[in-house]
Structure 1
Amino acid sequence: MSFARVRALVVVGLLGVLALAFVITAIVRDSQGDAGAAGGCPDGWPLADVTLHETKDVKINVLNATDEPGRAGAVADDFRNRKFQVKKVGNAPKGIDDVAVLKFGPKGVSSAHLLKAYFLNNAEPVYDEKRTDDVVDVVLGNGFQQLATTTEVNQSLGDLGPPVAPAGSCPSPAAKK
């Protein structure tokens, strides 16, 4: 082996060692390791669950605010067929002209996000920071016609992006199951 080749290998080896040292230093001194983990959350702010769940983990109450009697029962059956956990079926005060209203607290943020896709992003979210359960109230309005198909839900979720913590709350660390 010639002297030029040995010198080139030494230079490449030193560059590799320097690159490795730089990467290790960057990882060890990383100051953003807990970014998004509610580390800088003000005291008293609720932690919002922003981890997207599967339908089998989503708990809902289906309420009818339309003029059509029995609508909540039929929609609750549709949700059950899609593996949602339907807790209550009932009526709500009439007069909602929207497609639906989703009422939820900090623990229901990601569930409401998923449900919004089933209404093709036409459901009105109503966040209540004082609510302590993880159940979402689905209040059907007069504009409701039907739930979205699986393909439409997937496309809608892509358009919506990931769940985001509402104003006045912080994203929780990884969801605990």
Structure 2
Amino acid sequence: MGGNYRITGDKYPRMRRPRRRGRLILVVTTSVVALGLAGWGTLQLIDVFTGGAGKASAADNTTGCPSAKPSAPAKALPKPAKITVNVYNATTRSGLAKKAADELKKRGFTIGKVGNASAAYDKKVSGPGVLLGAPSATNGSFPVLGTQLQGTVSKTDARKTADVDLILGTKFKSFSTPQAAAAALAALAKPAPAPSC
């Protein structure tokens, strides 16, 4: 062959270095892993800021926790009119039990006995008050009456009746405002939130 295609030996054809597939595979794998981690991190952030809403596992059907139980239903609390309150004064202030009983009556409670506290409690209640009743009152009457006076201590005795004693202590100044008591009562009636993981 002649002309421009004659090979004279002073020119060499361009030859590429052989490609290294290992480096290409490493770059592609690293990119895929980085994108996967970025996507997973984004989902975690979304989950944190939305509280995990809409994410349920087949194990519990309500939360993302495999061992969590569904949230508890709303408590059936008695109405104030169904609670009979005996008001006793364990302080040195005269007329305190009568004033407290009148205020509770205005708030819808049924008033039973009113008077001075028994010797076991007279001048021995250092807080705002003590709620005393049957063990069944622990999950019924005590929480409802406790919304009216913050800081009370609940105690049970062997009585068979449903009435509850409110024994006023030396730190008693006044009941919670009706608005604060209503808000506390509404919070008690709400269902308990599901436990977080």
TM over 0.5: yes
Amino acid in the other structure paired with 1:106: P
Question: 1:4-19 counterparts in 2 under 5 A?
Answer: none
Q: Which residue of 1 aligns with 2:46?
A: none
5+ residue gaps in structure 1? Answer: 1-35, 37-49, 163-177
Amino acid in the other structure paired with 1:157: L
* Separation of aligned partners in 1, 2:94 and 2:128: 16
The secondary structure found in structure 2 opposite 1:90 is strand
Amino acid in the other structure paired with 2:125: I
Q: What is the Cα deviation at residue 108 of structure 1?
A: 2.5
TM-score by length of 2: 0.52
Q: Which residue of 2 aligns with 1:125?
A: 154
Larger fraction in strand: 1
Give the alignment partner of residue 135 of structure 1, picking from 136, 139, 163: 163
Give the alignment partner of residue 124 of structure 2, picking from 95, 100, 116: 95
Cα pair 1:100 1:138 within 8 Å, conserved:
yes
* Separation of aligned partners in 1, 2:183 and 2:106: 20
Q: Which residue of 1 aligns with 2:82?
A: 57
* Separation of aligned partners in 2, 1:53 and 1:106: 15
Cα pair 2:130 2:169 within 8 Å, conserved:
yes
Q: Which deviates more from structure 2 when the two are superposed, residues 74-83 or residues 146-155?
A: 146-155
Q: Which residue of 2 aligns with 1:23?
A: none
Identify which of structures 1 and 2 has the higher relative contact order when contacts are C-alpha pairs closer than 8 Å and 6+ apart. Answer: 1
Cα pair 1:107 1:132 within 8 Å, conserved:
no
Query: What's the Cα RMSD here?
Result: 2.2
Q: Which residue of 1 aligns with 2:103?
A: 78
5+ residue gaps in structure 2? Answer: 1-71, 191-197
TM-score by length of 1: 0.58
Moved over 6 A (4+): none
Identity of aligned residues (%): 29
Q: Which has the larger radius of gyration?
A: 2
* Separation of aligned partners in 2, 1:100 and 1:89: 15
